[in-house]
Chains A and B, each alone.
Chain A
Amino acid sequence: MTLLTIDNLEKHYGGVHAVAGVSFSVAIGERVALIGPNGAGKTTCFNMIGGQIRPDGGRVLLAGEDITGAPSRALFRKGVGRTFQIATTFGSMTVRENVQLALLSHAHRALGCLSDATDAAAEEARALLAAVGLESQAARPCDQLAYGDVKRLELAMALANAPRLLLMDEPTAGMAPRERHDLMTLVSDICAQSDLSVLFTEHDMDVVFGHADRIVVLDRGRLVAQGSQEEVRVDPEVKRIYLGESA
């Protein structure tokens, strides 16, 4: 069953065709990696799916529903979680409060004016923090966290709406190799336990080949290959892009 369909997505910047007619899909429960060299259009493509950039053409469908150009707050309501290349959290709050706010927002209670936010959704927040391994740091102000932990916290917040789809832009950028593996194993475990689908961009090929069920390769705004790890590994076009003309 297909969850996310990318249909002929287009984006121009002046004369530059950043993304030119890219189409692919993500099935339910599938982990798909979007890869390509610098400037391939990964992030542009990703931000069009995630609602940060409006596409010039094409459609994005979530379970058959057209979500093209929908802002990320609308996607959150439809069960899409999102993490960013440069992880951001709410620096003036504790780790727990960050997750509590995401949970409150999911419950449509983020505009409440009179209830106390400090004890809201405490049990769910504890469970989410435990799931990403941050339970012991719950009371810390989150701008004091190590960067790897900020990434984990972001993941916990992205999971607060019990998403069907997780969009992760460079989930392991800026992390140590060991941390990368731990974080992606965590994501894979969550996928295995639920029907969560994951679409992620990544530079680290160990992460890609360790955690993607399927790989989509972009180059200069075009889709050049997609398929299983084995199919992509032997694809001559992919070899050419990554290893140069002579390969």
Chain B
Amino acid sequence: MTLADLLAQLINGLANASTLFLLASGLSLIFGVTRVVNFAHGSLYMVGTYGAIWLAEHLGGGGLGFWGAVLIAACGVAVLGALMELAVLKRIYGAPELFQLLATFAVVLIIKDVALMAWGPEDILGPRAPGLTGAIELAGQPIPQYDVLLIVLGPVVLLALKLLLERTRWGVLIRAATEDREMVSALGVNQVWLFTGVFALGSGLAGLAGALQMPREPASLGLDLIAITDAFVVVVVGGLGSLGGAFLAALVIGIVKALCFALGTVDLLGYTLNFSKLTLVVEFVLMALTLALRPWGFAGRPLRGLREAPGTIEHVRTPARKFWTIAMAIVALLVLLPAVADDYTLVLATDCAIFALFAASLHFLMGPGGLASFGHAAYFGIGAYAAGMLAKQAGAPMLLALFAAPFAAAAFALVFGWFCVRLTGVYLAMLTLAFAQIVWSVAWQWDDVTGGSNGLVGVWPAPWAADKTHFYWLTIVLCTATIAILWRVMHAPFGYSLRAGRDANLRADAIGIDVKRVQWFAFPVAGAAAGLAGALYVYSKGSLAPDVMAISRSVDGLVMVLLGGVQTLTGPVVGAALFTWLQDEILRRTEYWRLILGLAILVLVLLFPRGVVGSLRRVVRGSDA
């Protein structure tokens, strides 16, 4: 590495930091005022990139075409964000936070497929900025003019936002609402337009960030999840709600990434370290370190808890005998399924069972624990890899691999959980995501052990279980038994202690319950169950790749749990089966399954803000009374 290389990478890193800051500042503003964790923020960024490229083509070349496209795209995305707020979120501000999250997931799915329809699956390269295609010389190194522009733009936008927030009446209202939105509303401020306005502003920033990236990065359908995770990392590292913190965090992440690229491969004490491989994971390592050392980020403060929305606590009741009869009947029907079903249906049913277990394990943390895990796929993936590696590299028999996988996942969950329970709310969710991404990138890059991006192939069940029917039975038995164990633990003193910590932390402490420790122990329990699901998944597919624990699987898990309803264990099980079956049904008919699923989720969220099972239970109970 020469000094010139370092400089070049540094400039590139700083330019990236600017767009990262624009993206993250929008997310931070929206979260600050509305307390909505807008997962669709990355999708808005993606629309910004696609939209700007499309507009630039249609507006013709020249500076006007390019900059016109950037501006129109940013404004268009602002309008899109405002529409999303008006059409969806406005109706569910009173619903529990997790349902707002589910609604934004639905928007992610919808936007992805609409982008697919409009612009196709291929990556699209954008035009370069007319007049800024050249480079300026710095220390004998050519620096792209466009990068210089971006580097200047970051601080300019920061300054403009600061002025907006501190010098205008609207800005004062935004800051006041970030502090205490009930108070602002009590003072007679019309929150309705404040929220819509902030959504438009935040979305516009995301759109602007996306549009400005058009000469630097091709538009692709994967941008949404990449952008949203990057934005979350920046916001969390910087401290929720702090623009200055977000700016600093974007700079640090941009520079550290640039350093990793510049360092490349380094020989250190006889070991060869490849730093450029670290770029995939370095921001998550940084986030994990920050959260472990400074739980509220660089500049954040502990969040003022929102006053609990009424009716968010569901009472867990011991089910009536009728429930058990029905449950047993369903299990019996599932066991008898192979008598009438073909192989295709059996494979689908096997998937449903595996994901039901996965969702139930996530629910164990989210429901009774109140611990939203955004990286639950990590334990699924660790279980899958443990089983796959035992089978391929150690030649272990299937049963041994299935037995060992949950322990491997639980061991990791024990370590990750220890860090996670030190945090709460969104910070905790983000740390779980960071751990999942770290594990994912290790699996992706450690070719010798995990097979790298190719994964492992040829992990087949033992001969006695090779038949589809036999494997289906094995899966049903193991999944049902594990879900039953989870149910048992939830209704044992441990489950009550977990709920006690969620319901009233201080009270639980005062009756001698060590809430953090109880929450910590919940991680390996949930991790083991997810690990078993992952191991079964490998054997049912015969192979695995790092995408078994990609972000999208964690998101799928959240959707399954929230779709079914977080209050009962039945909810996630039904949600997972419904999700898996719907995905398969729709995929067979159209490639736009995400769009249909997203619309279905939106309808469900708007009609049943308690999840399918939760709402059904209310209907049943209502008719009983």
Residues of chain A touching chain B, judged by Cβ–Cβ distance below 8 Å, are 50, 52, 71-73, 76-77, 81-82, 84, 88-94, 97, 100-102, 104-106, 109-118, 120, 141, 143, 154, 157-158, 160-161
What separation, in Å, do the CA atoms of A120 and B497 have in the docked complex? Answer: 13
Residues of B within 8 A of A52 (CB): 506
| B518 located at the interface, meaning its Cβ lies under 8 Å from any Cβ of chain A in the complex | yes
What separation, in Å, do the CA atoms of A177 and B413 have in the docked complex? Answer: 51
Main secondary structure of the interface of B (DSSP, over half): helix
Q: Which residue of A50, A106, A143 is within 8 Å of B512 (Cβ)?
A: A106
Kindly list the 4 A-B residue pairs having the minimum CB-CB distance in the complex, ordered from nearest.
A76-B512, A88-B504, A90-B503, A82-B510
Q: Which residue of B488, B497, B514, B521 is within 8 Å of A114 (Cβ)?
A: B488
| B500 adjacent to A113 (CB under 8 Å) | no
What separation, in Å, do the CA atoms of A101 and B513 have in the docked complex? Answer: 9
| Distance (whole angstroms) from the CB of B221 to the closest CB of chain A | 41
| Distance (whole angstroms) from the CB of A201 to the closest CB of chain B | 16
| B313 located at the interface, meaning its Cβ lies under 8 Å from any Cβ of chain A in the complex | yes
| A112 adjacent to B504 (CB under 8 Å) | no
| Distance (whole angstroms) from the CB of A132 to the closest CB of chain B | 15
Q: A104-B493, A110-B494, A111-B494 are in contact. Are A90 and B507 (CB under 8 A)?
A: yes
> Which of B316, B508, B511 gathers the greatest number of chain A CB atoms within 10 Å?
B511
| A72 adjacent to B503 (CB under 8 Å) | no
| A117 adjacent to B503 (CB under 8 Å) | no
Q: A72-B510, A73-B510, A76-B512 are in contact. Are A110 and B493 (CB under 8 A)?
A: yes
- B interface residue count range (under 10 / 10 to 19 / 20 to 34 / 35 or more): 20 to 34
What separation, in Å, do the CA atoms of A89 and B507 have in the docked complex? Answer: 7
What separation, in Å, do the CA atoms of A90 and B509 have in the docked complex? Answer: 12
What separation, in Å, do the CA atoms of A105 and B497 have in the docked complex? Answer: 9
| Distance (whole angstroms) from the CB of A49 to the closest CB of chain B | 13
Given pairs A92-B316, A101-B500, 20 additional interface contacts (CB within 8 A): A82-B510, A88-B504, A90-B507, A92-B502, A93-B496, A100-B496, A102-B511, A105-B497, A109-B493, A110-B518, A111-B493, A111-B521, A113-B489, A115-B492, A115-B493, A117-B492, A117-B493, A118-B491, A157-B507, A157-B510
| A73 adjacent to B493 (CB under 8 Å) | no
| B497 adjacent to A76 (CB under 8 Å) | no
> Which of A84, A104, A115, A154 gathers the greatest number of chain B CB atoms within 10 Å?
A104
| A92 adjacent to B513 (CB under 8 Å) | no
| B491 adjacent to A93 (CB under 8 Å) | no
Q: Which residue of B313, B507, B510, B525 is within 8 Å of A92 (Cβ)?
A: B313
| B511 adjacent to A105 (CB under 8 Å) | yes
Residues of A within 8 A of B497 (CB): 101, 105, 110-111
**B201-225 vs A, Cβ < 8 Å mask (1 yes, 0 no):** 0000000000000000000000000
Which chain A residue lies CB-closest to B315? A141
| A71 adjacent to B509 (CB under 8 Å) | yes
Q: Which residue of A92, A97, A106, A113 is within 8 Å of B494 (Cβ)?
A: A113
| A93 adjacent to B503 (CB under 8 Å) | yes
Q: Can you list 11 A-B pairs with a CB-CB distance of less than 8 A?
A: A72-B509, A73-B510, A73-B513, A73-B514, A92-B502, A93-B503, A106-B511, A112-B494, A115-B493, A161-B511, A161-B512
What separation, in Å, do the CA atoms of A160 and B509 have in the docked complex? Answer: 14
| A88 adjacent to B506 (CB under 8 Å) | yes
Residues of A within 8 A of B513 (CB): 73, 101, 105, 110
Residues of A within 8 A of B503 (CB): 89-93
What separation, in Å, do the CA atoms of A105 and B506 have in the docked complex? Answer: 15
**B496-532 vs A, Cβ < 8 Å mask (1 yes, 0 no):** 1101101110111111111000100100010000000
What separation, in Å, do the CA atoms of A89 and B497 have in the docked complex? Answer: 12
| B491 adjacent to A117 (CB under 8 Å) | yes
What separation, in Å, do the CA atoms of A109 and B494 have in the docked complex? Answer: 8
| B448 located at the interface, meaning its Cβ lies under 8 Å from any Cβ of chain A in the complex | no
What separation, in Å, do the CA atoms of A118 and B492 have in the docked complex? Answer: 8
Which chain A residue lies CB-closest to B314? A92
| Distance (whole angstroms) from the CB of B481 to the closest CB of chain A | 14
What separation, in Å, do the CA atoms of A35 and B314 have in the docked complex? Answer: 39
Which chain A residue lies CB-closest to B308? A91
| Distance (whole angstroms) from the CB of A185 to the closest CB of chain B | 23
| A111 adjacent to B518 (CB under 8 Å) | yes
Which chain B residue lies CB-closest to A83? B510
Residues of A within 8 A of B451 (CB): none
Q: A111-B518, A160-B511, A161-B512 are in contact. Are A104 and B313 (CB under 8 A)?
A: no
| B488 adjacent to A92 (CB under 8 Å) | no
Q: A104-B493, A117-B493 are in contact. Are A94 and B510 (CB under 8 A)?
A: no
| B495 located at the interface, meaning its Cβ lies under 8 Å from any Cβ of chain A in the complex | yes
What separation, in Å, do the CA atoms of A105 and B517 have in the docked complex? Answer: 14
| A158 adjacent to B489 (CB under 8 Å) | no
| B2 located at the interface, meaning its Cβ lies under 8 Å from any Cβ of chain A in the complex | no
**B292-327 vs A, Cβ < 8 Å mask (1 yes, 0 no):** 000000000000000000000111101000000000
| A73 adjacent to B509 (CB under 8 Å) | yes
| Distance (whole angstroms) from the CB of A99 to the closest CB of chain B | 10
| Distance (whole angstroms) from the CB of A60 to the closest CB of chain B | 16
| A158 adjacent to B496 (CB under 8 Å) | no
Residues of A within 8 A of B496 (CB): 90, 93, 97, 100-101, 104, 110, 117
Which chain B residue lies CB-closest to A104? B493
Residues of B within 8 A of A89 (CB): 503-504, 507
What separation, in Å, do the CA atoms of A161 and B506 have in the docked complex? Answer: 17
What separation, in Å, do the CA atoms of A180 and B512 have in the docked complex? Answer: 27
| A116 adjacent to B491 (CB under 8 Å) | yes
What separation, in Å, do the CA atoms of A72 and B502 have in the docked complex? Answer: 17
What separation, in Å, do the CA atoms of A158 and B509 have in the docked complex? Answer: 11
| B511 adjacent to A101 (CB under 8 Å) | yes
| Distance (whole angstroms) from the CB of A171 to the closest CB of chain B | 14
What separation, in Å, do the CA atoms of A17 and B500 have in the docked complex? Answer: 35
| A84 adjacent to B494 (CB under 8 Å) | no
